[in-house]
Structure 1
């Protein structure tokens, strides 16, 4: 039980060494292994004062304050993580499954089903309530920052970006929100595309779109890079979300970035086809991506659901990109939630711990676990330009998640519904919103 005071001590908590910004504290030598068992955790005491991390010391060492003067909460070896960072979501699409399910689970049907639902139902009130529902879930689960892609074509885009602005203002003290435009890249060859770039600059957003192989891809990329550079915008692409080895938009994006000498941050999401391409092409692509300073975000749950789906046939591959190879090449990699309860992914609850849990299983992010927790904390925070998020350090806000689990096995074997979420040192209400809140929208 946390005290009501703003100054207290979290005692005997385990923090991943890679997320603890203190070189003076290291895990015991006996816990540093190369196996998939628990390694690189530091047993620490953390002082919280006025919403900030005031002091971190190795457990049971002498403190700089009289321990008797403040309440002590003994975590008994439970894990302490920084709040999560979810850098690729689609909040505007979320929670429409009950009124618009995907009829066959395929990518093509997902596109058509969402398009039909949007034309029929996506007024500002509908989008607002579904996006807010997703934010309520994310906040309760311990997410501090979200980058959401917004379908941004025409009048629908205008309405949805207006909703985003309203929610960004209302939720700013709880969840940092970033918006990315989502259109096909040919849209930027039109006057409407240029207006969209101006709008994204106005909302402080990121210019983005879906890259696909077509004869005009070079022209489309040149245009979107020019629009971004003129407005000092970062870029975020949907790239190669398929199992076609001939789909090489990631490579083309990297080449364009190098040609333009683009200095902003570039993110490419999905990059699924990289996993089915020949080794020489993979090597060349990774070299270009590294040179272009591109970050990669994998969406393991949605891509597992959509990729290689054929009626009556068992899928032959997992749909995720080459996370291990990308990381080994020095390319920053993150994983994120993507879609939630919509035709692109019929499940999910905006829980980044579930995303990490699934990513570990799908992409073998164990043996050893190493610093793979960075993919949902420190790395996406850095890629989103949030230097005070995704890590634990003295002087940073006490935005933390406390678990009874003491190691990776315990953390990833249950859903951790009893986690405690701290925002500026105070325990928040982690009650999830009731699905019934949306019944009138969904016709239930």
Structure 2
């Protein structure tokens, strides 16, 4: 059955709604900007049954669900309503090179080599713009409100890629909020190029970033002067008032995270540093884990887990089934009060052969991979308010006087949200029906195998 048959004339009614009441909407409290309105019926998953009043594209009121409606009412009958979601760690410049880049073998070293080969051969402005546009159109069709993308910023490439990003940010302004972080191996900050890159990032209002390994090396080796390199990075960031977002310890054995935490404290950067991946943290002994988490908390680091990509890359060996999931210990980090978000990371490139820029799908997989269920508690926050807070943007929640950027799901419980892909979701942007057709892969075929 088509989703619109469940909402009589929904598209027409939401085409230009000056006033509409979404009646009996079921919203996880973790996705409400404020506490659940007093008297709202709560279900066992921690979701409130509310009416959402939309006026002129903004949410005018959220009240306990009423028994009756009126001409301005769309009866949702307890279906889930979520905000549009946030992807705080992506790679729009790498995306959609599958079939063109060399085969990576599904390993981290293989992915680095394959990406380098593809970058050197193909990453001009036209190529980047076309693939970024495809990725953003896909994210838009899935209901993504904001993306922070890491941009490969090697010498000779950075100016091209950051210019393409700036064009995309302007083109998608008002629909998808875009941020970017520069991405280079940490030893790129050892010489004068580090300062030139910091200037490029500053011109574009980005974040200074990097990956805690040496050029051509692996996580956990090759950076005997890591503290000096981090001091250099933080000094460059501080001079330009840039926040920092790093790829950290994307391996089973690596120990850069405590160095990053201590550097943040040394430079007074508490609350301004985000660390993605942090895979090796999960394999520490219990006491070392507790000590490291305490240090992370003291440094005010935010952590982003990338469950789909880390499961794809970590512990992969030919002819051997992986023995661990590759993800960071999210539940322990959250218990310590550390901000944690889930994000999509790579999409159809050598680092991850799959994906579709769909944060609802990423969240559904994260709950299963990370065991964020029984009970679900505030698990929905990992794709909404948590990444929005990390990005410093006003999005990812449903609240009074906020834009009515919403998705309506054919689900009455969180287990139903997780069980299906929801290709029938209904999207509203500023209260207006905003479903879009996913871009066809045919848009990429003429250069996909070039």
TM norm structure 2: 0.93
Equivalent residue for 2:4? Answer: none
Equivalent residue for 1:15? Answer: 27
Aligned with 1:236: secondary structure? strand
Alignment of 1:394-409 (within 5 A): 394-409=400-415
CA distance in 2 between partners of 1:101 and 1:345 (Å):
13
CA distance in 2 between partners of 1:179 and 1:30 (Å):
38
Equivalent residue for 2:6? Answer: none
Structure 1's 30 and 358: CA in aligned 2 closer, same or farther, altered over 3 A?
A: closer
Equivalent residue for 1:414? Answer: 420
Matched, 1:382 2:383: no
CA distance in 1 between partners of 2:42 and 2:163 (Å):
54
CA distance in 2 between partners of 1:22 and 1:252 (Å):
36
Alpha-carbon displacement from aligned partner over 1:167-210 (angstroms, at most 9, x marks no partner): 00110111000010000111112211101101111101000000
Equivalent residue for 1:36? Answer: none
How far apart are residue 29 of structure 1 and its match?
A: 7.0
Aligned with 2:389: secondary structure? helix
CA distance in 2 between partners of 1:253 and 1:204 (Å):
22
Structure 1's 397 and 29: CA in aligned 2 closer, same or farther, altered over 3 A?
A: closer
Alpha-carbon displacement from aligned partner over 1:311-356 (angstroms, at most 9, x marks no partner): 0001000000000100001101001000000010000000001111
Equivalent residue for 1:436? Answer: 442
Counterpart pick for 2:433 among 427, 434, 437: 427
Equivalent residue for 2:184? Answer: 183
Matched, 1:272 2:279: yes
Aligned with 2:25: secondary structure? strand
CA distance in 2 between partners of 1:101 and 1:60 (Å):
58
Equivalent residue for 1:5? Answer: 16
CA contact (8 A) 1:240 1:273 kept: yes
Consecutive unaligned residues in structure 2, runs of 5 or more: 1-9, 214-219
CA distance in 1 between partners of 2:274 and 2:395 (Å):
18
Equivalent residue for 2:206? Answer: 205
Equivalent residue for 1:80? Answer: 81
CA contact (8 A) 1:19 1:392 kept: yes
Equivalent residue for 1:217? Answer: 226
Matched, 1:307 2:314: yes
Equivalent residue for 2:333? Answer: 326
Alignment of 1:67-216 (within 5 A): 68=70, 70-212=71-213, 213=220, 214-216=223-225
Aligned with 1:283: secondary structure? helix
How far apart are residue 18 of structure 1 and its match?
A: 2.1
Aligned residues: 430
CA contact (8 A) 2:271 2:302 kept: no
CA distance in 2 between partners of 1:405 and 1:381 (Å):
24
CA contact (8 A) 2:182 2:210 kept: yes
How far apart are residue 430 of structure 1 and its match?
A: 2.4
How far apart are residue 101 of structure 1 and its match?
A: 4.8
CA distance in 2 between partners of 1:207 and 1:358 (Å):
29
How far apart are residue 145 of structure 1 and its match?
A: 0.4
CA distance in 1 between partners of 2:399 and 2:268 (Å):
34
How far apart are residue 369 of structure 1 and its match?
A: 0.6
CA contact (8 A) 1:207 1:233 kept: yes
CA distance in 2 between partners of 1:398 and 1:326 (Å):
32
CA distance in 2 between partners of 1:179 and 1:22 (Å):
29
CA distance in 2 between partners of 1:128 and 1:328 (Å):
41
Aligned with 1:119: secondary structure? helix
How well do the aligned residues superpose, as a CA RMSD in angstroms? 1.5
Aligned with 2:157: secondary structure? helix
Structure 1's 159 and 256: CA in aligned 2 closer, same or farther, altered over 3 A?
A: same
CA distance in 2 between partners of 1:354 and 1:102 (Å):
25
How far apart are residue 261 of structure 1 and its match?
A: 1.8
Structure 1's 248 and 56: CA in aligned 2 closer, same or farther, altered over 3 A?
A: same
Equivalent residue for 2:267? Answer: 260
CA contact (8 A) 1:27 1:43 kept: no
CA contact (8 A) 1:27 1:40 kept: no
How far apart are residue 364 of structure 1 and its match?
A: 0.4
Poorly superposed stretches of 4+, deviation over 4 Å:
26-30
